[in-house]
Structure 1
Amino acid sequence: MAELTLRHARQIIEATFAKGREMGLKPLTVIVVDAGGHVKAFERADDTAPGRFGIAHGKAHGAIMMGAGGRALMKRAEDQAYFIAAVNGVFGGALVPVPGGILIRDSEGAIRGAVGVTGDTSDNDAEAGLAGIEAAGLTGEA
């Protein structure tokens, strides 16, 4: 697979919302970015705060720009807060180092993009996002 397609992005969002409903989660906001960090697709469920876009974007953007999922970034923030603060400055504040930022890998392990999910707990956000990525035939790294 050469790139993350719009079809993949829409499948990921749809399946992430479905998993969220199945889990009984609060309304979710989901963004998919490509390997360059550019927004491929975004949806915010009804009854979610408009600020959720920034949170979802920060989760996905941080994952793709650092080449690590949100869990690894959170660990790094806990161990080296000064480093994450500095990197967040470099990224213009667009880094949210918590679960829910998920790398998207193809069948060969290449990074093709990232997903950012927000709306419930970070761990639940990540679980829903992983299900969305899997439904699109790709592999997630939370």
Structure 2
Amino acid sequence: MPHPPIGFQHGLTLEQAHTIAHTALQEGRKLSLAPLTVLVLDAAAQLKAALREDGCSLMRPAIAHGKAFGAMGLGFGGRELAKRAQAMPGFMNAFSDLAGGAAVPVPGGVLVRDSSGMILGAVGVSGDASDKDELCAVAGIRAAGLTPDTGDDA
């Protein structure tokens, strides 16, 4: 048996995760946003990278995680999750309960897809308005050569 064990596929590479996180923060500075926290999850919804800017409030890492984790949990970007939260509050409350409260159904949780449409992971950004957080996640994902899925049909 090979040592260490090989064959695990977690989607995003560490280099891609770093590119996403660093570029998302750069985009936030370019847009003069409030301090941001960025979390990148792999295809198993496990933490791959996290960056928290100086000045972020206490719950920003948990919120960023919840945005990414919620997207991974149902396979929809945060915009679609927000629509479903409005249309089906009972279901989304149950989903949040099943996720141990770790699902935040708002923009800023963006799925990461490869060129064939496979989900490689998700990014959560928190710190400013959700729409602006999402812009930063999208910029990071594109900088890594991957496709962002915000959950918006447009």
TM-score normalised by the chain length of structure 2? 0.90
Deviations 1:19-44 (A, max 9, x none): 11111111100000011110111111
Number of residue pairs aligned between Structure 1 and Structure 2: 142
What is the match of residue 126 of structure 1?
134
| Counterpart-to-counterpart distance in 2, 1:137 and 1:64 | 20
Residue identity over aligned pairs, in percent, reads: 50
Deviation for aligned residue 1:51: 1.2
Alignment of 1:22 with 2:30, yes or no, is yes
Give runs of aligned pairs for residues 39-118 of structure 1, distance below 5 A: 39-118=47-126
| Counterpart-to-counterpart distance in 2, 1:9 and 1:94 | 21
The CA RMSD measured in Å over matched residues stands at 1.1
Greater Cα radius of gyration, structure 1 or 2? 2
Alignment of 1:7 with 2:15, yes or no, is yes
Structure ranking higher in helix proportion: 1
| Counterpart-to-counterpart distance in 1, 2:85 and 2:10 | 32
| Counterpart-to-counterpart distance in 2, 1:34 and 1:79 | 29
| Counterpart-to-counterpart distance in 2, 1:76 and 1:3 | 27
Deviations 1:42-95 (A, max 9, x none): 111001012111100000000011100000000000000110000111110000
Moved over 6 A (4+): none
Structure 1 stretch displaced more, 108-117 or 45-54: 45-54
Does the CA contact (< 8 Å) of 2:10 and 2:44 recur in 1?
A: no
SS of 1:15's equivalent?
helix
SS of 1:11's equivalent?
helix
Alignment of 1:141 with 2:144, yes or no, is no
Q: Which runs of 5+ in 1 are unaligned?
A: none
TM-score normalised by the chain length of structure 1? 0.97
Q: Which runs of 5+ in 2 are unaligned?
A: 1-8
Deviation for aligned residue 1:3: 2.1
